[in-house]
Structure 1
Amino acid sequence: MGSGSGMILIIASAAAVGILLFVLLMYRYVRRGSPRAAVLSSLLFGAALSGVAGFTVIQYDQIGAGLGQQLIFESYGMLLDLLVIGVFLVALFEWRMRRRDIERYHDEIDDLRGWRSPLASHRIRGSILRLNRRQVSRIDLTRCYLRNMNLSSMDLSGARIVGTDFQNAYLSRTMFREADLQGADLRHAFLWRADLRKATLWSANMKDATLEGADLSRALLKDADLTAANLKDADLTQTRGLTLDQLAKVRTLHHAKLDPELAAAVAAHHPELLEEPEGS
């Protein structure tokens, strides 16, 4: 075997070792939440392929046909095989670690459920943040203590939030779409532009809550307490269980969107609610 063929074997072996080392680096990056395995694998494959291709061009005249040329083709095939294996392994590692992390954060919330202390609130908030980073929003927050917490812009779509304490919580732009907030305590909560579409708010306590600009379309509001709630610019179209008696107790409905029947009833019996509130 000539020096050219031996050099090809050395280059191919070095490329194989480099790919395996890079797979380990990709695994570390994935664990840190850095770029995804597919992007890193593509960069790796491009670098390795460029190296082999460059060596082929430089050494082509010395290699010639026959065994040397065959080894070049085999080295390309090996690179492709290792790329596929590397992507598969990193994807598998990522999936396993992601599932383990999600289970751990859910368990942490379970351990703190019903614990009424600021420490528990902060730890639950941290778990919610980490779950959101993993694109998880369907979280069980039943009977959790989140009073005074800042959960603005978090995604709790489809979450189970039955009986949760959100008193004085800052929930600006928080997504509660299709969430179950039955019996939740939202007194004095700040829900500016919150997404509550199709949410279940049966018997929820929203006294003095700020729901300015909130989207409550198609939400279930049966027996919800809206006393002194600020519903300015809120979307209340196609809500279920909402009555004139409930709306009569709110602070304001200025520029709120209502279904035609409710809008007419409010205009006839409580026109002051449609006016600009004093001090706003």
Structure 2
Amino acid sequence: MPDATQDPPVEEQRFVRDDWYGEEITGRHYVRCEFHEVDFSETQTRNSVFTDCVFGNVRFNASQHADSAFTGCAFKRCDFFDAEFTGCKLVGATFSECELRPLRVTGGDWSFAGLAGADLRAVAFHGVRMREADLTGADCADAVFADVDLSGAMLHAVKLPRADLRGSDLSALDPLNAELAGAIVSPEQAAVLVTSLGLRVRA
């Protein structure tokens, strides 16, 4: 996870239509800044922190983010086509009307992230902490949630057909209020789901 950055924080600045295409953003800290129609395509962030920032109509196409944080940030109508997050912290981040496909997330903490109604078809989350994340009504068909901590997550009406859920905490999932046709689970997870339906398994 990101450590304290070396550069002094940039606070409450507004960036409009800036071209940051392909930039390497390392060790920077932005606090309560606004980014509107900024091009972050193919940008790489490392050990950088964005705190309570707003991103509107920002292009993150093919961007790569490692050990960075976007805590409490709001993403509105942003494009994350082919973006990748590795070991990043997005606690409390919210996504509205964003293009999130395809997206790859490995490690990191997305707890309390707001992804209600998001189109997450075929996205991949590996080893991510997503405690109490809001996935209400999200379309996660063909997605991968491998070894993901979904404890306490809001999963009402979530769509998970053909999703690979192996290794993930499904204790918050109500099978009667989710689409699960063809979803892949382990025997241990199947037992959890059966128990949640009020059934008892006996040899």
Corresponding residue for 2:161?
A: 248
Separation of aligned partners in 1, 2:27 and 2:121: 27
Instruction: String of CA shifts for 1:191-219, please: whole Å, max 9, x gaps.
Output: 11231101111222222211011122211
Higher helix share: 1
Corresponding residue for 2:14?
A: 107
Correspondence 1:201 to 2:115: yes
CA apart distance, 1:131:
2.0
**Residue of 178, 184, 199 corresponding to 1:273:** 184
Q: 1:155 to 1:255 in 2, by over 3 A?
A: same
Secondary structure class of the residue paired with 1:181: strand
Q: 1:107 to 1:272 in 2, by over 3 A?
A: closer
Secondary structure class of the residue paired with 1:151: strand
Separation of aligned partners in 1, 2:137 and 2:172: 21
Q: TM-score, normalised by structure 2?
A: 0.67
Any residues of structure 2 matched to 1:165-204 within 5 Å, and which? 165-204=79-118
Once the two structures are aligned, what percentage of the paired residues are identical? 15
Q: 1:180 to 1:227 in 2, by over 3 A?
A: same
Separation of aligned partners in 2, 1:272 and 1:221: 16
Separation of aligned partners in 1, 2:68 and 2:186: 32
Task: Give 1 or 2 for the bigger CA radius of gyration.
Answer: 1
**Residue of 163, 166, 178 corresponding to 2:77:** 163
CA contact (8 A) 2:90 2:111 kept: yes
CA contact (8 A) 1:120 1:145 kept: no
Q: 1:121 to 1:139 in 2, by over 3 A?
A: farther
Amino acid corresponding to residue 258 of structure 1 in structure 2: L
CA apart distance, 1:265:
6.0
Separation of aligned partners in 1, 2:107 and 2:145: 10
Correspondence 1:225 to 2:123: no
Q: 1:194 to 1:182 in 2, by over 3 A?
A: farther
Q: TM-score, normalised by structure 1?
A: 0.50
Separation of aligned partners in 2, 1:154 and 1:134: 5
Q: 1:246 to 1:157 in 2, by over 3 A?
A: same
Q: 1:241 to 1:255 in 2, by over 3 A?
A: closer
CA contact (8 A) 1:121 1:147 kept: no
Secondary structure class of the residue paired with 1:231: strand
CA contact (8 A) 2:111 2:130 kept: yes
Correspondence 1:259 to 2:171: yes
Secondary structure class of the residue paired with 1:190: strand
Instruction: String of CA shifts for 1:113-151, please: whole Å, max 9, x gaps.
Output: xxxxxx54435x73x852257864222112210110011
Instruction: String of CA shifts for 1:162-213, please: whole Å, max 9, x gaps.
Output: 2211111111121110011123222121111231101111222222211011
Correspondence 1:139 to 2:53: yes
RMSD: 3.0
Corresponding residue for 1:216?
A: 130
Secondary structure class of the residue paired with 2:86: coil
Secondary structure class of the residue paired with 1:223: coil
Higher strand share: 2
